[in-house]
Amino acid sequence: MNIPPDPRPSPVVLALLTLWRMAVALCGLLGVYLVVSEVDDFYYLSQLGSLVVGVVYIGLALVPVFTAGRRHEPPSSWLRGAMAVLMSLIAITSIVLLDPALDEPGFLLEHLITPAVVVVDFVFVGRGQFRTRAWEPLTWIALPLAYFVFLLSTGVQAYQSIFDPESSEFVPTVLGFFGALIVCGYVLFGLAKLIGAIRTPAPVPATVTPW
């Protein structure tokens, strides 16, 4: 599917998109503010992920400023796709395998609301995701992989109930997690392509002028 170049966005579109992405950033940072009480809390992916959402989406919200209004988003949506995979991991893992304490506002933001708005942003907001190439979801595991390396470097101080290096199931569990993340990435990829096909009008056939 060929996606035509993005037209110069109107001031209204720029303003609405900036407000939306600032709201996404606020969800992430507010979740961190309500949950984090000490540095050790940043051993956990939920807090780190929400913090990264805040930083990344502030940057995305400022794209129109840095481009003098010529663009509303970067040419590539790789980072948004990677963030959507990361936050999907946080939401699904916490709800299925852990006790996410969704009755507390901070944990509700970190484990449900922030992941939901990040996924919505990738699938429905903007147009860059429609140009995602088929190999990119394979690389969206980069952020969870970086966290996993950090987790190993700390002696797995967090999530020992899931990842136990002394267990015979450690390697299969790790491979299963990252395999599931790749599947999740391709689900998001497919949804974005579907929305792109719906939103992009079919090209009008050229009129043949008879001689």
pLDDT digits 0-9 by tens, 73-112:
888 899 999 999 999 999 999 888 887 788 899 999 999 9
Lowest model confidence (mean pLDDT) among 69-78, 129-138, 202-211: 202-211
In a domain, 211, yes or no: no
Q: Which domain holds residue 20?
A: 11-199
In a domain, 207, yes or no: no
In a domain, 210, yes or no: no
In a domain, 182, yes or no: yes
Mean pLDDT of 118-135: 92
In a domain, 4, yes or no: no
Q: Which residue has the higher pLDDT, 85 or 127?
A: 85
pTM: 0.87
In a domain, 66, yes or no: yes
In a domain, 152, yes or no: yes
Hey, is 165 helix, strand or coil? coil
Indicate the number of domains in the chain.
1
Separation in Å, CA 31 to CA 22, 46, 138: 14, 9, 28
Mean pLDDT, the chain, rounded, equals 86
In a domain, 29, yes or no: yes
